[in-house]
């Protein structure tokens, strides 16, 4: 099976999901994380429990700040194209869909800031702003993101616009 991934050219088919995606843990993990931090933020807004505030800060620290656990601010290898040739070993524009949950993360941050979360420190906020800036820089200079941005009839285009709007807040 591995030889097919490296020797056979990959053929993308519009409207079909790359079956390799089902073997990856990253897309599910970021979407689970996004949903979790949004639920924690809403819970904190409704109940004002310090444990939720602390949990939110810990989640954010681990995914966006801590050098050993943070996510890279790009999806250069998201939904990687298998096989030889110019695009082999590169991410594809559909990899941007893997980070669609970041809109929820931005909403969660806005909720926590409005409720003056005691664990959402200026250091965390600054680190998140830095990460977001790096991701936006990657989006503005990446061939992958440019390809997605020039495909208005694809779902990825609408997703990219909502993500850019949220991250620019």
Confidence of residue 9 (pLDDT cuts 50, 70, 90): low
The answer as to CATH 1.50.10.100 being correct for domain 21-167 is yes
Which among 159, 38, 13 is positioned nearest to 97, based on CA atoms? 159
Residue 45, Cβ neighbours under 10 Å: how many? 15
Q: Which residues have a Cβ under 8 Å from the Cβ of 161 and sit 6 or more positions away?
A: none
Q: For residues 33-47, give the mean pLDDT.
A: 95
| DSSP 3-state of 78 | coil
Average pLDDT over residues 137-159: 75
Q: Tokens standing for 134? A: 């790096």
Q: 129 phi and psi, to 5 degrees?
A: -65, -40
Closest Cα partner for 78 from 108, 102, 57, 59?
102
Q: pLDDT tens across 71-89, in order?
A: 888 888 777 776 666 656 6
- pLDDT above 90 coverage of the chain, percent: 31
Residue 113 has pLDDT above 60, yes or no: yes
CB 55 within 8 A of CB 68: no
- Better pLDDT: 43 or 155: 43
**Residue 124 pLDDT:** 92
- The full set of domain ranges for the chain reads 21-167
Q: Evaluate whether 41 touches 108 at the Cβ level (below 8 Å).
A: yes
Give this prediction's pTM: 0.78
Band of residue 43 on the pLDDT scale cut at 50, 70, 90: very high
The answer to whether residue 64 scores a pLDDT higher than 70 is yes
pLDDT on residue 17:
67
């Amino acid at each position: 099976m591995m030889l097919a991934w490296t020797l056979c050219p990959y053929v993308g088919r519009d409207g079909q999901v790359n079956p390799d995606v089902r073997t990856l843990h990253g897309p599910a993990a970021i979407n689970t994380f996004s949903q979790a931090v949004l639920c924690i933020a809403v819970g904190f807004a409704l109940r004002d429990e310090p444990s939720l505030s602390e949990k939110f800060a810990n989640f954010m620290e681990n995914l966006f700040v801590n050098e050993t656990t943070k996510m890279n601010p790009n999806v250069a290898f998201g939904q990687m194209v298998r096989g030889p040739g110019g695009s082999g070993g590169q991410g594809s524009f559909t990899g941007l869909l893997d980070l669609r949950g970041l809109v929820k993360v931005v909403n969660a941050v806005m909720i926590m800031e409005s409720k003056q979360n005691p664990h959402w420190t200026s250091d965390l906020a600054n680190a998140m702003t830095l990460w977001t800036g790096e991701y936006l820089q990657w989006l503005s200079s990446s061939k992958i993101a440019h390809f997605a941005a020039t495909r208005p009839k694809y779902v990825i285009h609408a997703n990219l616009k909502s993500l850019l709007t949220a991250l620019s807040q």
